[in-house]
Amino acid sequence: MLPNQLRERPVAQAVADFDGDAVTNGKYEGNELTLEIAPAKIVSVCGFLKYDQKFVRLSAVTAVDRYPLEPRFEVVYHVHSVERNERVRLKCRLSGIDPVIESVCSVWRGANWYEREIFDLFGIRFLNHPDLRRILMPDDWEGHPLRKDYPIYGPRV
Amino acid sequence: MSEPSIPGLVAEVEEEQQSPSGGRRMVLNMGPQHPSTHGVLRLFIELDGETVTKCAVDIGYLHTGIEKEFEVKTYQQAVTLTDRVDYLAPLSNNLGYCLAVEKLLGMEIPPQAQWMRVMLTELTRLNSHLVWLGTHALDIGAMSVFLYCFREREEILKIFEMFSGQRMMTSYFRIGGLALEPPRGWHHRVKKFIDRFPSCVDEYENLLTNNRIWIGRTRGIGFISLEDMLDLGVTGPMLRAAGLKIDTRKDQPYTSYEKFDFEVPTRTENDVFARYQVRVEEMRQSTKIVQQALAGMPSGPWKADDPHVVLPDREKMKTQMEALIYHFKIVTEGFRVPEGEVYQVIESPRGELGFYVVSDGTTSPYRVHMRTPSFGNLQATSKMVEGILIADVIASIGSMDFVLGDTDR
């Protein structure tokens, strides 16, 4: 459900009208709009934002690890509309056990490397990604360095 | 490098060795140690004769885990990490990070610090564009331009050294303002440089703009449509050379950029030459901004008045109990930043630089993601070079102006 104070943000209202079940939560803080999207709906919402709401650019995709909380992972999308001069943050929460989400490469080809980076550093899998393999770490690396349970110091075991 | 490190990738390229015309295709490995990649970038290029039919990009050779390291530094310490991301534009990175944290803290920065930040980031833009112009011309074969560009760059680095004590890893912007009081005589030094600089830009243009070899190597080369660039995440001068007037300094002004009068140069040709023209014009515009900053520099404090975050003056720390306690607390523990998240975007010399900072209310960032312009721009390499001649690959990737430290982080 879209929180009531977001009804006056045109983008938030448009997404809620497009698919009432897609938005699970949201907030507007410091001129930044955040919409929490149900993971199953991310591709359709992104397609709607790009083709209908003119958010032609995907600025970045990243993730946050909330270990040991559950749902553990947040996948964060920053989309940008050049024409409307507006930015929106989309957030999907994923479980810590076999985190997997649909890739948005079919909407923005630029998502390719960002999703590979998340796969590499957080171990989140992206379904229907054209080329899902490590990008920054060596191919034979074990573990995912940006997870909170990955040590910062000490030798590699 | 004989053994390719990406088995899947090479197999994929080799499967199609038989071209429709019946000729054999060749796979060429360029990098990771290739002079024109300015860092360690590896390109696998599949060739049919002299034409590139396929290109795969391999990055990650400079990955140093900076984003992980953010999580164990205090907010103020982490400023030094941002220098090392894009090492040709350290002050732009400092600025992006500081603005993000200041937004979380809800902090007001005094006017002098803001104007000083504008002036120094514009000098950084000059610095970065000079390195780009020099090395790009060197790649294409115009050796002398490199020497001219580095002559002026040296002056800029000396100005940075005067301010911060460091030529490259300046860390001069801190959360709450500047690291040190602007040094005595800075105004004269910057003025002397910036008054001379426009004639230097004329000099570079004399060497290149009407140079027949330069035009032959750059005009009509490296085309990639605007739609493809937007889709692939390209930003900065590349988009402006394709006619899109996009500049975060104008669209979402930060650090009082709205008080400065400057143009956003655009071109429509969308080739290597247009990107060159856009960047040269940006140097002229940055010069204008620095001149305005010099003329109208407000007086007043150079750091915010917030004893919980900003270190007290040395004088006060030595004489007042209160200041001594704050000093001790900030240095040993750092300061707490309220819970929240912020995505701060600035216009770095290379394009859109975004800092996504997540705070959990402690003294170190919970997560920092850097949306670096080089990472986005580099993603378009394959699209740009496929179908062009091998000799133009270097000019094309040079026109993107990426820094591998910025890409790999």
Is there a single domain that holds both residue B195 and residue B331?
yes
User: Of B67, B354, B375, which is closest to A146 when you measure between CB atoms?
Assistant: B67
CATH number at residue B320: 1.10.645.10
Q: Is B2 inside a domain boundary?
A: no
**B166 and B191 belong to one structural domain:** yes
User: Residue B147 is which amino acid?
Assistant: L
Residue B205 falls inside a structural domain: yes
Inter-chain touch A65–B233, beta carbons under 8 Å = no
pLDDT of the residue at B161: 93
| CA-based radius of gyration for chain A | 16
Which of A122-136, B2-16, B72-86, B184-198 shows the lowest per-residue confidence on average (mean pLDDT)? Answer: B2-16
Sequence-distant (≥ 6) Cβ neighbours of residue B73 within 8 angstroms: B81, B364, B365
The structural domains of chain A, with segments of one domain joined by +, span: 4-127
C-alpha to C-alpha distance for B245 and A139, rounded to whole angstroms: 40
CA distance B403 to A134: 20
Q: How far is B315 from chain A (nearest CA, A)?
A: 36
CB–CB of A113 and B379 under 8 A?
A: yes
3 state SS of A141? coil
CB contact under 8 A, B6 and A85: no
Interior angle at CA B265, CA B264 and CA B266, nearest 5: 115
Q: Domains in chain B: how many in total?
A: 2
Q: How high is the pLDDT of residue A89? A: 92
Give chain B positions within 8 Å (CB) of A76: 356, 369
Q: How far apart are CA B401 and CA B149, in angstroms?
A: 15
Same domain, B23 and B96: no
Give the count of Cβ contacts less than 8 A between chain A and B: 84
User: Which residue stretches of chain A are H helix?
Assistant: 10-18, 42-51, 111-122
Looking at A21-30, B60-69, B234-243, which range is the least confident one?
A: A21-30
Identify which of B24, B276, B332, B269 has the alpha carbon closest to the alpha carbon of residue B145.
Answer: B276
To the nearest whole angstrom, how far is the Cα of A108 from the nearest Cα of chain B? 5
Residue B144 pLDDT > 50, yes or no?
A: yes
A100-143 pLDDT, tens digit per residue, is: 999 999 999 989 999 999 999 999 999 999 888 899 988 888 88
CB contacts, 8 Å: A59 with chain B: 233, 343, 345, 352, 354, 371
In the predicted structure, residue B22 carries a pLDDT above the cut 70: no
CA–CA distance from B68 to each of A31, A145, B71, B344, B370 (Å)? 27, 7, 6, 19, 11
Q: Is the pLDDT of residue A157 over 60?
A: no
Q: Which CATH class is domain A4-127?
A: alpha beta
Residue B1 lies in a domain: no
- How far, in Å, CA of B43 to CA of B52, rounded? 12
Express each pLDDT in B291-305 by its tens digit: 999 998 888 888 888
